[in-house]
Structure 1
Amino acid sequence: MSNSLITYVKLHKVSLVLAFLSIAFYYTFAYHLERTDFIKLVTLFAALFFLCFKLIQFEKWNFRFLLIIGILSRLVFLFTEPNLSQDFYRFIWDGELVSNFLNPYLNVPDTLIGQSDLVIANAQQLYDGMGSLSARHFSNYPSLNQLFFAIAAILGGKSILGSIVALRGIVILADIGIFYFGRKLLKNLNRSPHLIFWYFLNPLVIIELTGNLHFEGAMLFFFVWAMYLLSVNKWQWAGVVLACSISVKLVPLLFLPLFLKHFNFKKSLLFYSIIGATSLVLFAPFYSSEFIHNYSKTIGLWFSNFEFNAGLYNGIKKIAIQFEAKPWELIKTYGKLTPILTIAIVLLFTFLRKNQNLTVLLSSMLWILTLYYFISPTVHPWYVIFLVTLTIFTSYRFALLWSAVVVLSYFAYSRTDFKESLWLLTIEYLSVYAYLIYEIITHRNKK
């Protein structure tokens, strides 16, 4: 062992031990955890957050060291199936359809599985794995996401595990891209570049994206890239890249009105035209007379049929039930009000804030998405990752706390009836609300 290596080990021995423990815990999470074991899940999650905090605290200027730890933590999951989500079965199903030039927006799996000439490899296993809820609905994943699924299906060589490895490769590359452009964007915003590690080493990010194969990371790669392009005044290319982000997940659509004040009126129209044209090109291969109806119908279900880890909605439902309201009717009524409230929130932040400044623009995005999640009846843990990303580029940190406590929502998976614990959800949301209020007061006092 060379003298320089010995010296390095001596200087960083505590961090090396923490890194080893972190990777060991990720290995345990990936290969030795059932999602029904809530106590083990929460314990591992808490330990990984503590290790993440200490690694960033000790080595925040040692970029190469933390980058390698982040990559190794992701590679641990490479050859295992996701253990907290079954969505990957639908990803591969859609990818098989697209790779065989079949439109995933025109037929539901319940219909396709009965066809004798179905060309999907491992069709029955994928159908059984995705579950009845996914199987009876049209695909809700946008066009560029479908392309990623198709690439994974092709590279997977008609093997489910092969497709999983390919999907993981895409997700890991997207996270490295976020690290690259996120660090550049932080420098352009005169913020410390080490803040990117609160994304790159965040256990929620590693477990939900690389581990469970959710494609928020791909969406965020294009989003962060677009924001970086705005920071260097390459707004035309930013429009193209932002359209790619929307074509992976629709969430960035919420932020489009904000650009009315970020640019002048004429420039904003050109920006919207670029986004619209790019989006049309990306969706064109899937267009048919039935596409818009089927896709909008599926998206509408998220407002009026599903509920999970809700904040405000659970409080309203609890009160409404005392007045003999029927939960299945309440969710439909509430689902009709949610888009109206969301539009009102977006318009307020569009016209009442000075979004010309990129820092203010990113802050407005953070508030819009935060308030949207507060009122939404469905907030899956991986949704919070977008807030974590936006938080890095602002002076607020409440989303980091939320990324730690959102694991409490997984208690539902430990129950055979998937019933949530309102006590645990109360702890989750009260801690987030309390810290958010503290930060708001602190920021006002500083001003």
Structure 2
Amino acid sequence: MSFLNKYSSIFTVTFSIICYFFFAYFLERTAFYTVSLLWFSLFIGFYILIKNKNISFSTLVGIALLFRLIFLFSIPNLSQDFYRFIWDGRMLLNGFNPYLSLPETFIQQNLQPVAEASSLYEGMGELNGSHYTNYPPLNQLCFFIAAIFSSKSIFGSVIILRVLIILADLGILYFGKKLLEKLNLPINNIFFYILNPFIIIEMTGNLHFEPVMLFFLVWALYKLQQQKWIWAATLIACSVSVKLIPLLFLPLFFQWFVKIPLKSSLKETSKFLKGFVKLITFYTIILGVTILLFLPFYSSELIENYSNSVGLWFRNFEFNASFYYIFREIGYLFRGYNEIAIIGKITPLLTILFLFILTFFRKNKTEIQLITALLFGLCFYYFTATTVHPWYLATPLILSVFTKYRFPIIWSLVIILTYQAYANNPWKENLWFVFIEYLVLFSFLIYELNKHSKMKKL
């Protein structure tokens, strides 16, 4: 490393440390312009570090870990979901099934089922406290671990939850590097995820558990590359049992297992049937392991409570949507009121149709082709969804690492514009900021699609 490069890197890391420290301990999410200034500054530092070819892989790993450890003793300041995580974990520790009760019921009856119940309820807010939990079993296990080690201190629980997320990111780093090597891609691609300020702030800082889900997903993709598909199926089930989103990917594995006969012959037909049996077995393992993990929580009310809670995101909530907002305005124009109840049922059908097209009309035979299909299938779902919270972008971001597409990195940069909503009291979206976010994103996406389309013709 040259003298100039060395001191430039030291300055960049030092500046980033200061920004992350301020972000962790002195920032309120209502201070939108300060949040944005720090965010864009950190992305400049991220870009400089990624582009510096003289920094070794191990040094970048150390820097990424250091940035995460800055947040270790901070209380999340951009999200309040962690209060519900702690509540659910302590409910489990005290012998309650978290899927069967509402926090507000206990509070209204002046009951304290867990330590610091009033503080936790106040922290999670009335909206969260009035709905049944929608966090799957392995996510609940993480909350339970935090309760075991810190059953009476919110601060202590936050530290345990954060350590689990950091460990998951290290797991993503380990298996992500191995998968990149298997795919003959640059191993430094993993830093598009590991060093990304969005990941560090939203996951480590704000305690969203996407890294745990993605740890199992990346491990599964690595096992799939090794042709160990039974292992892969089990790991995908574990991923689903942290967050449900990998269920969207299941149709896209069709071509990985099933080879459509090119000619009518006994050999080709036999290969087709063997592949189809493997695919069915693959799906059966995923479904079976997922059900097995839910079994300890099973009761007659579980399915109804859980489905109602998940369904609320399609029928009631609106945040940072793109095409949905266009559909909504068309509804206002013709019907005079918000059609979210109808649109929220139609957009999942559009996603299913798009996944069907990707499954049967696009080549998904190599793992890079498969992961690219996963990326676009998920992004189409987000583009038509009624609600797209910032932390949702962790999944398309990690998938992009194993493809030639980089638009999720751009999305992770401009997603900060959604926090403008919290600068208002009560919170209210400014759709101009949403428009700018998606204008930048779609412009870059179209540019990438055109670029790669031209390269295919060369």
| Shorter-chain TM-score tier | over 0.9
Is the counterpart of residue 273 in structure 1 residue 280 in structure 2? no
8 A Cα contact 1:181 1:225, kept in partner? yes
Deviates more, 1:43-52 or 1:265-274: 265-274
Unaligned runs of 5+ in 1: 1-6
Pick closer, same or farther for the CA change 1:340–1:154 going to 2, 3 Å: same
Q: CA deviation digits over 1:414-437, x for unaligned, max 9? A: 000211111111110011111111
| Match in the other structure for 2:319 | 308
- 1:368 equivalent to 2:377? Answer yes
Structure 2 residue aligned with 1:141: 135
Give the alignment of 1:350-361 within 5 angstroms: 350-361=359-370
Distance (Å, rounded) in 1 between the aligned partners of 2:164 and 2:313: 26
Q: Is 1:67 the counterpart of 2:61 in the alignment? A: yes
Partner of 2:246: 252
Native 8 Å contact 1:60 1:194 kept in 2? no
Listed one character per residue, the Cα deviations across residues 369-417 of structure 1 (whole Å, up to 9, x for unaligned) are 1111100110011111111111111101111100000100100000002
Distance 1:112 1:225 in 2: 40
Counterpart of 1:91 in structure 2 is: 85
CA 1:12–1:286: 2 relative to 1, 3 Å = same
Aligned to 1:337: 346
Match of 2:156 in 1: 162
Q: Offset at 1:101? A: 2.3
Contact between 1:15 and 1:59, CA under 8 Å: does it hold in 2?
A: no
**CA offset at residue 102 of structure 1?**
1.1
1:10: Cα distance to partner? 7.3
Counterpart in 2 of 1:441? Answer: 450
CA distance in 2, matches of 1:332, 1:418: 22
1:8 is displaced (CA, Å) by 9.0
Corresponding residue for 2:106?
112
Corresponding residue number in structure 2 for 1:150: 144
| Cα distance in structure 1, aligned partners of 2:79 and 2:41 | 21
Give 1:3's aligned residue. Answer: none
**What residue number does 1:26 align with?**
20
| Residue range with higher mean Cα deviation, 352-361 or 186-195 | 352-361
Counterparts of 2:419 and 2:290, CA distance in 1: 35
Deviations 1:19-49 (A, max 9, x none): 1111110000011111010110000000000
Matches within 5 A, 1:194-233: 194-233=188-227
Q: Deviations over 1:53-79 (max 9, x none)?
A: 101111475111111111111111111
Q: Structure 1 counterpart of 2:161, which letter?
A: L
Q: Secondary structure at the match of 1:229?
A: helix
Cα deviation, residue 272, structure 1: 1.2
Q: Are the aligned partners of 2:106 and 2:113 in contact in 1 as well (CA < 8 Å)? A: no
CA contact (8 A) 1:61 1:194 kept: no
- Is 1:295 the counterpart of 2:306? The answer is yes
Aligned to 2:386: 377
Q: For the residues of structure 2 that align with 1:320 and 1:304, how far apart are their CA atoms?
A: 15
User: Structure 1 residues 11 and 374 mapped into 2: Cα distance closer, same or farther (>3 Å)?
Assistant: closer
* 1:430 maps to 2:403: no
Q: Is the 8 A contact 1:30 1:76 kept in 2?
A: yes
Contact 2:136 2:244 in 1 (8 A): yes
Q: Secondary structure at the match of 1:106?
A: coil
- Contact conserved, 2:82 with 2:124, CA < 8 A, in 1? yes
The alpha carbon displacement at 1:119 in A equals 3.2
With 60-69 and 318-327 compared, the bigger mean Cα shift is at 318-327
Per the TM alignment, residue 14 of structure 1 is displaced from its structure 2 partner at its CA by 1.4
Indicate if the aligned counterparts of 1:59 and 1:66 stay in contact, CA closer than 8 A: no
Q: How far, CA to CA, are the matches of 2:391 and 2:111 in structure 1? A: 36
Identity of paired residues, percent? 50
Give the Cα–Cα distance (whole angstroms) in 1 for the partners of residues 352 and 149 of structure 2. Answer: 41
Q: What's the CA shift for 1:112?
A: 2.5
Distance 1:115 1:282 in 2: 32
Letter of the 2:184 counterpart = N
Q: Equivalents in 1 of 2:122, 2:278: separation in Å?
A: 49
Code of the residue aligned with 2:190 in structure 1: it is I
Normalising to structure 2: TM-score of the pair? 0.93
**Partner secondary structure for residue 52 of structure 2:** helix
Unpaired stretches in structure 2, ≥5 consecutive residues: 258-274
When residues 60 and 112 of structure 1 are mapped into structure 2, their CA distance, relative to the original with a 3 A threshold, is farther
Distance 1:217 1:83 in 2: 19
- Could you tell me how far apart the structure 2 residues matched to 1:60 and 1:148 are? 38
CA contact (8 A) 2:97 2:297 kept: yes
Deviation at 1:333, TM superposition (A): 1.1
- Native 8 Å contact 1:387 1:399 kept in 2: yes
**2 CA distance for matches of 1:289 and 1:112?**
21
Partner of 1:4: none
- Is the CA contact (8 Å cut-off) linking 1:98 and 1:104 kept in structure 2? yes
Q: How many Å separate the matches in 1 of 2:3 and 2:164?
A: 33
Give the structure 1 partner of residue 267 of structure 2.
none
Q: Distance in 2 between matches of 1:257 and 1:53?
A: 35
Q: How far does the alpha carbon of each residue in 1:147-193 deviate from its partner, in whole angstroms, 9 at most, with x for none? A: 00000111124100000000000000000111111111111111100
Q: Is the 8 A contact 2:417 2:437 kept in 1?
A: yes
| Distance in 1 between residues matched to 2:376 and 2:335, nearest whole Å | 34
TM-score by length of 1: 0.96
Look up the SS of the partner of 1:113 in the other structure. helix
Partner of 2:230: 236
Shift of the 10–395 alpha-carbon distance from structure 1 to 2, 3 Å rule, reads closer
**Letter matched to residue 138 of structure 1:** Y
SS in 2 for 1:12: helix
| Counterpart Cα distance in 2 of 1:256 and 1:413 | 36
Q: Report the AA paired with residue 169 of structure 2.
A: D
Name the residue aligned to 2:266.
none
